[in-house]
Amino acid sequence: MNNAQPLELLKQARAQFSQREIAEQVGKNPKTIRRWEKGETPCPVMLGSALRVMLREPEAPRYEPGTNRIRFVDLFAGIGGIRMGFEAQGGDCVFTSEWNNFSKKTYVLNFGERHPFVGDIMPFPAEDIPDHDVLLAGFPCQPFSIAGVSKKNSLGRPHGFECTTQGTLFFDVARIIATKRPKAFLLENVKNLLSHDKGNTFEVILHTLRNELKYDVHYRVIDGQHFTPQHRERIIIVGFREKTDFSWNDLRLPEKAPRLESILHKTDGTEPFLPWDQDRFFDHDKKIIQPKYTLTPRLWSYLQAYAEKHRAAGNGFGFGLVYPDSVTRTLSARYYKDGSEILVWQGDKKRPRRLTPRECARLMGFPDSFRIPVSDTQAYRQFGNSVVMPVMKEVARIMAPHVHTMIEEGRTGVAQFSLFA
């Protein structure tokens, strides 16, 4: 809970908002805000709740006996895409782990820091993690993704489980499940996890979850394009401590995929003005996307030449031009480099442009209220690493009744045991 006094909250709010914006929110004159800030007049106690709304930090949830809100932990949290899916089902985060400071900045601004937030999960003792009902982990996909594997191969390094750092992170997840025995878990990764090392990697994962940890495990590849105009296939693995009648048939995946135009900035005067973005991505006066997102002549020539070279050699590489009725390729964490996988066509007379970070947020299904406090480079990396949030929301929706049943039945779980004994 944010127990800070009104003046402290005012200082926090001023890091993000102008005196005028705060004045509008609390129904006062900007001069009054300045007097409060300078300590010329004391901040009224009532100011606190209005500022908490601005800081998007609701009162911390209370756990009354008999309530069945789902408590979850958010591991490899990134910017909280999976978290948002579970919050939509009435879940409360009780612990987060994310070691990247830029991602942490985005995460904390959007969700607050009302619970323990730790960096590296590897050395963190599992028994110090608060009790929880559901464990969420979008563990890093680099060792399993095609790009990750080929990069590591080219560097002569091992990949997957052989890789001593990233690949073993699954076992950190397993270690925590073994110790904390949550009622359920949701793990997310690239689709390529299924075929990595001829299927051996996935077999080890399933064996660990089913045979060692004794969970009822279900998995499925889901394409984000049911919800947003992006082809993004990810494997979702869910597990329950008890046998359930969980079924993927309960998923509601909209048939008609939305098209790119639904997430692009609107140049017809209807683009909303977001106080937290101001004109960073879109010039509201001129009604244009900021020119810096249009490719430089040099980069555009390079990309065309590169694509032509590969086309001549019979390879499928190249840039991905997209139009208002397109569904894009997968947004990658490397989008900031040249943005070649998704280039927005701007007419024959203009060079194409990249998506803005706000458009990337929309492409991942994040609401416009989501704040982007980091540089474009970091923002592209963060969204490219994240999840199509509505997919998570839908999976959380079909998991929730089973978790609620287990909470209500008050099952306490079986004795803890060591995975590696």
Ligand X SMILES: C[S@@+](CC[C@H](N)C(=O)[O-])C[C@H]1O[C@@H](n2cnc3c(N)ncnc32)[C@H](O)[C@@H]1O
Applying CB under 6 A, which residues contact ligand X? Answer: 76-82, 97-100, 103, 120-122, 138, 140-141, 169, 385-387
CA distance 229 to 329: 9
Contacts of 370 (CB under 8 A, 6+ apart): 110, 361
Structure tokens at 296: 């430089």
Shortest Å, Cβ 360 to ligand X:
12
Longest CA pairwise span in the chain (Å): 73
- Which residues are tagged catalytic? 141
3-state percent helix, strand, coil for the chain, nearest multiple of 5:
40, 15, 45
Contacts of 177 (CB under 8 A, 6+ apart): 135, 185, 209, 213, 215
In the numeric block, the tokens 């490219």 are attached to 384
Which CB sits closer to ligand X, 6 or 80?
Answer: 80
Contact 407, 183 (CB under 8 A): yes
Shortest Å, Cβ 373 to ligand X:
15
CA distance 185 to 173: 10
CA distance 90 to 341: 36
Which CB sits closer to ligand X, 56 or 287?
Answer: 56
Give the angle subtended at the CA of 312 by the CAs of 311 and 317, to the nearest 5°. 25
Residue nearest to ligand X (CB): 78
Shortest Å, Cβ 306 to ligand X:
27
CA distance 24 to 40: 20
Which CB sits closer to ligand X, 354 or 381?
Answer: 381
Count, in order, helices (H) and strands (E) of the chain.
Answer: 14, 11
Shortest Å, Cβ 194 to ligand X:
17
Supply the angle between the helices 376-385 and 101-111 in degrees, to the nearest 10. Answer: 80
Shortest Å, Cβ 118 to ligand X:
8
Shortest Å, Cβ 223 to ligand X:
17
Which CB sits closer to ligand X, 171 or 240?
Answer: 171
CA distance 404 to 67: 10
Which CB sits closer to ligand X, 122 or 288?
Answer: 122
Helix (H, G, I), strand (E, B) or coil at 234: strand
Contact 115, 93 (CB under 8 A): yes
Shortest Å, Cβ 122 to ligand X:
5
In the numeric block, the tokens 């840039």 are attached to 319
Which CB sits closer to ligand X, 82 or 193?
Answer: 82
Which CB sits closer to ligand X, 19 or 97?
Answer: 97
